[in-house]
Amino acid sequence: MQYLENQNIKYKNNQLYVEGINVDDLVKEFGTPLYIYSKNHFINQYKEFEDAFSQIKHKIFYAMKANFNLSVINTFVNLGSGVDVNSEGELFRALKTGIDPSKIILTSVGKTKNEIKLGLEKNVLMIKAESEEEVELINQIAEKMNKVARVAIRVNPDVDAKTHPYISTGLSSNKFGVDSKTALLIYKRRKDFSNIQFTGIDMHIGSQITSVSPFVDAMQKLSELYIEIEKDGLKLKHFDVGGGIGVKYNNEDSFSINEFAEKTIPLFKKLNCEIIFEPGRFLTANGGILVTEVLYNKKNGDKNFIIVDAAMNDLLRPSIYQAYHHIQPINKSDARKNIIANVVGPVCESGDYLARDREITQPTSGELLAVMSAGAYGMVMSSNYNGRRRPPEVLVDGNKYSVIRNRETFDHLIYDEKII
């Protein structure tokens, strides 16, 4: 049995700790399923990113869709990060932290009129536009509001990010952005948009990308376009390369942030503008675990099942992307035999699993398991399916911990519903 650890989530005397706090103690207080995050992991990842790009003019906008708990957003805001928001709801959350709206970027392939209006009202740094029609609409709304909208066009560079098809966004067959030709035409039509100031150009080619080359290919294409736009007389302030940097969930090949910086900085230096990054997963994924209790062990035919109290409604990634999350007991014991099993939840779907055909130490019922790398796209994608209450979230900072979201109550489940 392999045990994954990192600087902030590791075993001491065979017991799993998040920073200075014993996971078992947190479970005694808060029960399971339970999300636990390491604040210092988040901070270290942010600083590592900052340091890697210290020699160029850049800015990080945390993609809060990865983990939008107010305290998590606030951790990054306190470090000086901006925030990339993908809806009015995320904008609402971001503003709750007291962030200066000039540190917010408004994204989304399908913004409603209301979202655009809200972005302008709050005076966000930049609204990304993903179609010519959207540029026209932003212009109309800004005109009515007597404002000038700062806009970046999201360009789809048609590059294969070689990641799961559901999280690949930079191919021309994907719904995102516009192709380079269309983007150039829109920038050239700028005189038609009296209430728009084009301040940037943007891309985001996908998520959990484990090699640098798709990024470099896409950035190369975008920088050619950037230069062409400059030749046309428009100097853009921001070159936004999105997020997408992959992390290690298991033993996959990946690259370090320094390697990413080494390979991209020469390209950025040619542009002489501010580079914007929107990392989400890189900052949060390996700073979180989901702790679950084993309810039952059983065998159907030849197949072993470990039935736990966390399910697809708590962590959806395995079910929809066949994503790998390492699962390990919170108490290490080498003396036990390994089995091959499916780790499954109580939801009434065969797609409800956290691991399939996984080699794992045979657990006993009542034992606690940690589902690793659950800090990104975990809680944010949770639901109340099957009438399940969402788990609490605890943030550990050294020897202190705080509940940053309580377990939902039964009343949450029927909030604002009516019997007629």
Residues with active-site annotation: 348
Q: Which two tokens stand for residue 43?
A: 């901070």
Percent helix, strand and coil across the chain, each to the nearest 5: 35, 25, 40
Phi, psi of 88 (to 5 degrees): -65, -30
Closest separation between CB of residue 94 and ligand LLP, Å?
Answer: 14
Closest separation between CB of residue 188 and ligand LLP, Å?
Answer: 24
* Residue 204-223 contact track with ligand LLP, rule CB under 6 A, x = bound: x--xx---------------
* Site residues (CB under 6 A) for ligand LLP, limited to 302-321: 317, 321
Count of beta carbons in the 10 Å neighbourhood of residue 69: 19
Stretch that binds ligand LLP, among 12-20, 240-248, 337-345, 408-416 (CB under 6 A): 240-248
- Which of residues 76, 187, 377, 401 is near ligand LLP by CB under 6 A? 377
Closest separation between CB of residue 277 and ligand LLP, Å?
Answer: 9
Query: What sign does the CA torsion over 211, 214, 217, 219 have?
Result: negative
Closest separation between CB of residue 13 and ligand LLP, Å?
Answer: 33
Q: Are 1 and 341 in contact (CB under 8 A)?
A: no
- DSSP secondary structure of 162-176: -S-GGGB--STTSSS
Closest separation between CB of residue 119 and ligand LLP, Å?
Answer: 15
Q: Are 136 and 189 in contact (CB under 8 A)?
A: no
Whole-angstrom CA distances from 277 to 65, 106, 159, 166, 420 are 14, 14, 18, 21, 49
Complex with ligand LLP: residue 30 or 277, whichever CB lies closer: 277
Complex with ligand LLP: residue 156 or 361, whichever CB lies closer: 156
* Site residues (CB under 6 A) for ligand LLP, limited to 148-207: 167, 204, 207
Complex with ligand LLP: residue 236 or 294, whichever CB lies closer: 236
Question: Can you tell me the distance from the alpha carbon of 374 to that of 370, in angstroms, rounded to the nearest whole number?
Answer: 9
* Residue 321-360 contact track with ligand LLP, rule CB under 6 A, x = bound: x---------------------------------------
Is 245 one of the binding residues for ligand LLP (CB under 6 A)? yes
Bond from prior residue into 214 cis (ω within 30 degrees of 0): no
Total number of residues shown for the chain: 420
312 alpha carbon, distance to own chain's centre: 18
Pick from 293, 288, 337, 323: which is nearest to 75 by CA? 288
- Which of residues 82, 119, 170, 244 is near ligand LLP by CB under 6 A? 244
Complex with ligand LLP: residue 142 or 379, whichever CB lies closer: 379
* Site residues (CB under 6 A) for ligand LLP, limited to 84-123: 84, 107
Intra-chain end-to-end CA distance of the chain, in Å: 54
Closest separation between CB of residue 170 and ligand LLP, Å?
Answer: 10
Stretch that binds ligand LLP, among 215-223, 273-281, 331-339, 411-419 (CB under 6 A): 273-281
Complex with ligand LLP: residue 30 or 268, whichever CB lies closer: 268
Complex with ligand LLP: residue 63 or 369, whichever CB lies closer: 63
* Site residues (CB under 6 A) for ligand LLP, limited to 16-45: none
**What order of strands is seen across the sheet that includes strand 21-22?**
9-12, 15-18, 21-22
Sole residue written with tokens 């990339």: 84
- DSSP secondary structure of 263-298: HHHHHHHTT-SEEEE--SHHHHGGGEEEEEEEEEEE
Question: Can you tell me the distance from the alpha carbon of 87 to that of 98, in angstroms, rounded to the nearest whole number?
Answer: 17
Complex with ligand LLP: residue 81 or 361, whichever CB lies closer: 81
Q: Are 376 and 316 in contact (CB under 8 A)?
A: no
Closest separation between CB of residue 205 and ligand LLP, Å?
Answer: 10
- Which of residues 243, 287, 318, 329 is near ligand LLP by CB under 6 A? 243
Closest separation between CB of residue 249 and ligand LLP, Å?
Answer: 10
| Residue ranges binding ligand LLP (CB under 6 A) | 63, 65-66, 84, 107, 167, 204, 207-208, 242-245, 278-282, 317, 321, 377
